[in-house]
């Protein structure tokens, strides 16, 4: 039986590496296709959530679930200081998150209302409560799989307490107060942006809209055109330099006077 030596493994890895110049469009976004991509994403989200298009003159309708994350009563305060709890809710493949209740401890309050499109066939939501930490990973305090009561889908608004699981055991970590309501009616998908968990700049994760359009960069400000008098001043500043070279540097710097002077100073050093 033979074993692969380190040199052989390294050689094998080198053969798998793609060598050569990167394409010109590497890591660049085609702004012209942003709108088309957005429309495609919205259409896919509508299909995923069972949005019915206009039929027989009636407008499109969407199934909507509203979740009010009111408060919680937790069994234990983990840590030496009062906890800073926040809630993360998953509906289908979409994630929604509340703000943090600073020093909420065992009785945090959020009163956060979440409006979301309800995917076809989804009747349960998954909920987690975290303690936000500054220098370590946010700690998971409690969680629960909650089945949306059938009465909600018949138009009833349910205000109820749901038990939480955690380190203390199933149903022993306290309870959370949710208000649930359901409706079907005309609505824009953009009014209920689905959320995804994406890495944040800090510890843990943050929620963001799935189809949020990227911020568009501001158009660059064009410097005022240089006058013949200013060109003559630059030439007088560099009398030993050929005028054609000065003009070439000026054009290369977009006819920006300050940038041209800096470039000429570097050339004359």
What SS3 class is residue 230?
Answer: helix
Is residue 194 within 8 A of residue 89, CB to CB? The reply is no
* pLDDT tens for the 269 residues of the chain, in order: 445 566 676 666 666 555 556 555 555 555 455 565 555 555 555 555 555 554 444 445 678 899 999 999 999 999 888 999 999 999 988 899 999 999 999 999 999 999 888 888 889 999 999 999 988 899 999 999 999 999 999 889 999 999 999 999 999 999 999 999 998 866 554 444 544 443 333 333 334 343 333 444 545 555 566 777 878 888 888 888 888 888 877 877 777 777 778 887 877 66
Is residue 61 within 8 A of residue 184, CB to CB? The reply is yes
pLDDT value for 239: 83
Q: Tell me the CATH number for domain 228-268.
A: 1.10.8.10
pLDDT value for 152: 92
Q: Class assignment of domain 59-209?
A: mainly beta
Is residue 87 within 8 A of residue 97, CB to CB? The reply is yes
pLDDT value for 191: 46
For the chain, give every domain's residue range.
Answer: 59-209, 228-268
Query: Which residue in this structure is represented by tokens 């702004």?
Result: 31
pLDDT value for 234: 82
| Number of Cβ atoms within 10 Å of the Cβ of 62 | 21
Closest CA to 104 of 135, 134, 68, 129: 129
Is residue 119 within 8 A of residue 156, CB to CB? The reply is no
């Amino acid at each position: 039986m033979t074993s692969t030596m380190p040199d052989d493994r390294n050689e094998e890895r080198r053969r798998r590496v793609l060598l050569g110049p990167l394409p010109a469009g590497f890591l660049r976004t085609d702004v012209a296709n942003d709108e088309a991509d957005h429309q495609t994403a919205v259409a896919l989200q509508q299909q995923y959530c069972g949005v019915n298009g206009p039929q027989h003159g009636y407008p499109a309708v969407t199934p909507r679930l509203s979740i009010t994350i009111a408060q919680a009563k937790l069994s234990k305060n983990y840590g030496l200081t009062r906890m800073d709890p926040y809630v993360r809710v998953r509906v289908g493949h979409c994630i929604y998150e509340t703000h943090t209740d600073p020093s909420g401890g065992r009785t945090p309050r959020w009163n956060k209302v979440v409006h979301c499109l309800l995917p076809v066939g989804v009747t349960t939501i998954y909920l987690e409560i975290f303690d936000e930490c500054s220098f370590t990973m946010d700690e998971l305090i409690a969680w629960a799989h909650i089945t949306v009561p059938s009465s909600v889908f018949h138009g009833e608004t349910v205000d109820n307490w749901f038990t939480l699981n955690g380190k203390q055991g199933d149903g022993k970590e306290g309870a959370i107060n949710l208000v649930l309501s359901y409706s079907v009616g005309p609505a824009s998908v953009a009014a209920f942006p689905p959320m995804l968990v994406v890495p944040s700049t800090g510890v843990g994760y943050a929620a963001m809209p799935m189809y949020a359009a990227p911020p568009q960069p501001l158009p660059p400000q064009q410097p005022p055109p240089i006058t013949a008098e200013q060109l003559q001043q630059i030439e007088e500043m560099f009398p030993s330099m050929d005028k054609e070279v000065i003009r070439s540097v000026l054009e290369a710097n977009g006819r920006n006077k300050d940038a041209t002077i800096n470039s000429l100073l570097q050339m004359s050093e």
